[in-house]
Structure 1
C-alpha cells in the first residue's frame, strides 16, 4: 500500500513510519523540514506546512495514497487544511488524537463512549494545557465530518519508548539507572498506564491494512507504582506523600507520568483498551518498554526538571 504520513520524523511519527516500512509498504512523509530526519532512505520526503492552509500543501497536489496517518494535527486549521486537500485522494484518514479529549477524566475506567470536552472553536491556534484536549475534539469532528466511515481515530495515553524527547517516561528509567535512594511519589498504591510507541505503531498499520473504522483508546498494561519501581530495578524507593510533594513544589513536571489515584485526572491511568485489543492491539511487557527506552535514553542527553541535587536535598530533609 501507499501510505502518506503527516509528520513522521519525531517519536510517535517515527515509529509509525518505521512500522509501515517494516511491513513492506511505500511511505511518504509530509513535514516542515525543521526536525532531525533519521528515517529510512526508502521513505519519500515532501515538504509543506499546514499552518499556511491549502497553499502549504502544494506538494500533495495530484497525488493519491491508500491511507493518510495524521500524527501532527493539533489545531483545527491544520487538520481541516489536510483533510479537505486529501479528500478523494486517500482511501482512509487515520487521526492520532489523545485521551485528553475526555470531559470527565476522573471516570474509572475511561471508555471511548464517555463524554468529550466541548470542542474548541476552529479559529483557536494556541495549544496549551487548557486547549489541547478541546482542540483535538474539534480535529476529530472535522475528520469524521469529511471522511465518515473511512476514518479511524486513535486516542493514545501518554506514549513511552525510544525517541521520547518529551522526557516524561525516560525520567524514570534514567533515574533508576543512577541507583541509590529514589524519590517515589505516593505510597506505591497509585497506578501507571502508558502505551508503548511500538504498540501504537503496529496497531496503526493494522487498522490501515484491515480497513478498520472507529475510535480506539490505546492504553498499555496498568500496573501499580510499587510494581513499576520493581520493573525499573529500584531497590530503595523513598515514598513521599501528597502533602510533602506539594510542600516541596513537586508536581507532574518534576515527577512526570505520576497521576495520583483519586485525583481529578486519575481516570487517565485507568483507560479501557478492550476495544483496541479486540481489534488486534498487542501490548509490550512493561519491562521491555523500560529496558529499550533506557537503551536509547542513555545517549539522548535529556534534561529533567527534578535535578539530582534537588532530589538529594528533599530526601535529606525527609531523613532519607
Structure 2
C-alpha cells in the first residue's frame, strides 16, 4: 500500500509510520520538516504546509492518507481539496473531545457533539475550542471528500513519543515509591488508548480501504 501521512514525525503519526514501514508499505510523510527532522529515513519525506505550500503533493497519488494534525476546519478543507481524486481512503484523527464535557457515559456516533460559539475562521485553538473545532474538521472532510473516509475519535492517547508527560510522569513517579499526591476524583472514569494500538487500528482499516 502507498500510504501518505500528514505529520508522521511526532507522536501518533510516528507510531503509524513505523508500523506501516514494518508492514512493508511505501510510506510518504508530508509536513513542515520542523519536528524530528531526519528520523524514519526509510520513508519518503515531502516538505510543505497544509495551509500554504502544497506543491509537493501535486501530480502524486496514494492508496490511503492518514491526517494526524488537523485542528482547524481550514486545515482539512485545504488538504481534502488537494488530495481528492489522488487518494482512495482518507482517515482523519479527531478526538473524544467532540462530545460535550457533560456528555453521559456510553456516547456513540449519534450522540450530540459540541458546537462552536462564534466564527470558526476567527477562532484560535484553545482548551475550550479544541473539541468544537474538531467537529468542524470532521464536517469539512465529509462535505468535501468524494472517496472513502474514516473519522477516529480517540480519548486520552498515551505511549512513547508523547511530549505532554500527562501519562509518563505517573509510572516514573510511582516507581520512586513513597506517598504520591494525585489530583482529581479517584472515582472519575478515565479511558486511555495506547498510541501504538491506535496506529495499528487505523492502519488495519486503511489496508481494507
Contact 2:84 2:146 (8 Å CA) reproduced: no
Residues 7, 186 of structure 1: alpha-carbon distance in 2 compared, 3 angstrom cutoff: closer
Pairwise CA distance, 1:103: 3.0
Alignment partner of 2:187 out of 186, 189, 204: 189
Structure 1 or 2: more helix by fraction: 1
Q: In the alignment, is residue 92 of structure 1 matched against residue 89 of structure 2?
A: yes
What secondary structure, in the 3-state scheme, does the structure 2 residue paired with 1:159 have?
strand
Contact 1:76 1:124 (8 Å CA) reproduced: no
Pairwise CA distance, 1:90: 0.3
Contact 1:98 1:157 (8 Å CA) reproduced: yes
Q: Which runs of 5+ in 1 are unaligned?
A: 212-320
Q: Distance in 2 between matches of 1:177 and 1:29?
A: 37
Q: Distance in 2 between matches of 1:35 and 1:209?
A: 27
The structure whose Rg is larger is 1
The corresponding residue for 2:126 is 128
The corresponding residue for 2:103 is 106
Pairwise CA distance, 1:124: 3.6
Contact 1:101 1:133 (8 Å CA) reproduced: yes
Q: Which runs of 5+ in 2 are unaligned?
A: none
Contact 1:77 1:125 (8 Å CA) reproduced: no
The corresponding residue for 2:44 is 44
Q: In the alignment, is residue 7 of structure 1 matched against residue 7 of structure 2?
A: yes
Contact 2:99 2:112 (8 Å CA) reproduced: yes
Q: In the alignment, is residue 66 of structure 1 matched against residue 63 of structure 2?
A: yes
Pairwise CA distance, 1:132: 0.6
Residues 177, 124 of structure 1: alpha-carbon distance in 2 compared, 3 angstrom cutoff: farther
Q: Distance in 2 between matches of 1:104 and 1:158?
A: 14
What do residues 144-176 of structure 1 show as CA deviations (whole Å, max 9, x unaligned)?
112256100000101011111011011211211
The corresponding residue for 1:20 is 20
User: What is the TM-score with the length of structure 1 in the denominator?
Assistant: 0.62
Higher relative contact order (CA 8 A, sep 6+): 2
Structure 1 window deviating more from structure 2 (114-123 vs 150-159): it is 114-123
Residues 118, 179 of structure 1: alpha-carbon distance in 2 compared, 3 angstrom cutoff: same
Give the ranges of 4+ consecutive aligned residues of structure 1 lying more than 4 Å apart after TM superposition.
119-122
The corresponding residue for 2:176 is 178
Pairwise CA distance, 1:177: 2.1
Residues 121, 20 of structure 1: alpha-carbon distance in 2 compared, 3 angstrom cutoff: farther
Q: How many residue pairs get matched? A: 208
Q: Give RMSD over aligned pairs.
A: 1.7
Contact 1:31 1:48 (8 Å CA) reproduced: yes
What secondary structure, in the 3-state scheme, does the structure 2 residue paired with 1:181 have?
coil
Pairwise CA distance, 1:135: 0.9
